[in-house]
Structure 1
Amino acid sequence: MAVVGVGIDVVDISRFEDALRRTPGMVDRLFTATEATRPVASLAARFAAKEALAKALGAPGNLDWHDAEVVSESSGRPLFSLTGTVAARAAELDAATVHLSLSHDAGIASAVVVLES
């Protein structure tokens, strides 16, 4: 296996919460219905994850945010469910495995994504 992409992103949770308050439709644009039920710190981490994934994929402008859903295994381990535009871009890069790490602490949410062939 070879690394075909790496992405990282950080989000200030209070700024993200302010943005969600100012722009109520933002939640629907960025998150699936399941993701949208999570608390704001978790949403900020998921937004960071989607941004990190876009960077790892080369930041093409045609990705649909709903095509990259952050889900959790029963253990709590986060992972991506890729569909549509995001799955197609991952296939173009031969990215067979997507590694995801999330964190939120001290007012900051962060995510790292590594794509492997």
Structure 2
Amino acid sequence: MIVGVGVDLVDLARFERAVDRTPRLRERLFAESERDLPLRSLAGRYAAKEALIKALGGSDGVRWLDVVVAKTEDGDPFFELSGTTADVVAARGITRLHVSMSHDGGAAMAFVVAESDPSVGEA
């Protein structure tokens, strides 16, 4: 059952200006495994993290560094969650997260769907 949906759009030029103006944003927003990626990829990951927060219904307990956007061998994005963010997702009964990212022109966007399984927790 779908329990949340989130979408976010990032203007690449604006994102680049923010990172240039505040270099520590990389350390505050992205896990070590993400930080050296090109800005275009970071913008997509930022959009995915923002879309996740929207799908969860808010940012309470969500920590930027607890959310890593990784890729499967086929290149499909997925979330690796840890810490309080993983706890928040579990507490809300979310059993599966779907994420899609795209870039076009001067923008990066992401879409997240949060699902629960009503049968989980049944005796």
Moved beyond 6 Å, runs of 4+: none
Bigger Rg, which one:
2
* Structure 2 unaligned regions, length at least 5: 117-123
The amino acid of 2:7's aligned partner reads: I
Residues 61 and 88, structure 2, Cα contact 8 Å, conserved in 1: no
TM-score when normalising by structure 1:
0.96
The aligned residue for residue 105 of structure 1 is 104
RMSD, matched Cα: 0.8
Shift, 1:59, TM fit: 1.1
Residues 70 and 78, structure 1, Cα contact 8 Å, conserved in 2: yes
> What is the SS of the residue equivalent to 2:35?
helix
The aligned residue for residue 88 of structure 1 is 87
In 2, distance between residues paired with 1:9 and 1:71? 18
Residues 63 and 84, structure 2, Cα contact 8 Å, conserved in 1: yes
Shift, 1:62, TM fit: 3.2
* Structure 1 unaligned regions, length at least 5: none
> What is the SS of the residue equivalent to 2:88?
helix
Q: Are positions 1:38 and 2:37 aligned together? A: yes
Shift, 1:93, TM fit: 1.3
The aligned residue for residue 63 of structure 1 is 62
Q: Deviations over 1:3-53 (max 9, x none)?
A: 011100000001000000000100000001111111111100000000000
Shift, 1:78, TM fit: 0.4
Q: Are positions 1:15 and 2:5 aligned together? A: no
Q: Are positions 1:54 and 2:53 aligned together? A: yes
In 1, distance between residues paired with 2:84 and 2:111? 20
Q: Which moved more, 1:87-96 or 1:46-55?
A: 87-96
Q: Deviations over 1:41-76 (max 9, x none)?
A: 110000000000011111133321011100001110
Q: Deviations over 1:52-111 (max 9, x none)?
A: 001111113332101110000111000000111211111111111000000011110000
> What is the SS of the residue equivalent to 2:23?
coil
> Equivalent pairs: percent with the same residue?
48
